Amino acid sequence: MSEILTSVMSMSAWEAFATVLALAYVVLAAKGNMWCWPAALVSTAIYSIIFFDVSLIMESFLNIYYMAMAIFGWFSWFSAKRKIAIPEHQQHVALPVVSWPVKNHLLGFVVLIPIALALGYWMDINTQADFAYLDTFTTVFAVYTTYLVAIRVLENWLYWIVINGISIYLYFSKDLMYLTALMLAYTVLAMWGYYTWSKQYQLQKR
């Protein structure tokens, strides 16, 4: 607990602001609120600068991708929402939730697992990265899962539960206690997000 408090106290104001917005993004996304995407855009913009400043270039590039997905997510939710006659008092609500059949997810695995294995092998051979394969798997699937959020696929939250669970192990192994606690929070929010979107999906079916 003391290590987590020390990490929190050492955070810069910008890092703290980005973290608050990142948490707001997950909460708003779980509620199907379109304003999750502006929160994501600003938080990832800050993170991309922070990571670049400390020479974590790949993390910086990943957050630039998240920025692009935040813009895509906003327009995706907004354009679809205009087509389905949402009441005026609910204009902040996003497009409907969809659920993919198992074959769609299996196809995703068939494509992504070889990519993650190849990148993990390259990282393991050519860099000093620890947990090269696990780290690569979480990154590859996080890129894919962010897209699933943007098109409101219900099962995205199940992906995040697994991704965050692996991240908890990675961060804890590196004594990054603040990030471990943050991933624990994200895991709980992902469970809540799945429950919330499931309820909305069932209402849509009725």
Q: What span, in angstroms and rounded, lies between the C-alpha atoms of 206 and 188? A: 28
Domain segments of the chain as ranges: 2-82+95-205
Is residue 186 within 8 Å of residue 166, measured between CB atoms? no
Instruction: Please check the confidence at residue 11 and state whether its pLDDT lies above 70.
Output: no
Say which residues have a Cβ less than 8 Å from residue 135's Cβ, sequence separation at least 6: 120, 123, 129, 170
Contact yes or no for 59/167 (Cβ under 8 A): no
Q: Mean pLDDT, to the nearest integer, of 18-23?
A: 88
191 compared with 58, residue with greater pLDDT: 191
End-to-end, the C-alpha distance of the chain in Å comes to 46
Contact of 81 with 138, CB cutoff 8 Å: no
User: 70-129: per-residue pLDDT in tens?
Assistant: 999 998 887 765 555 444 444 455 678 899 999 999 999 999 999 999 988 998 888 777
Question: How crowded is residue 200: how many other Cβ atoms within 10 Å of its Cβ?
Answer: 17
- Tens digits of residue pLDDT in 148-168: 999 999 999 999 999 999 989
CB 10 within 8 A of CB 169: no
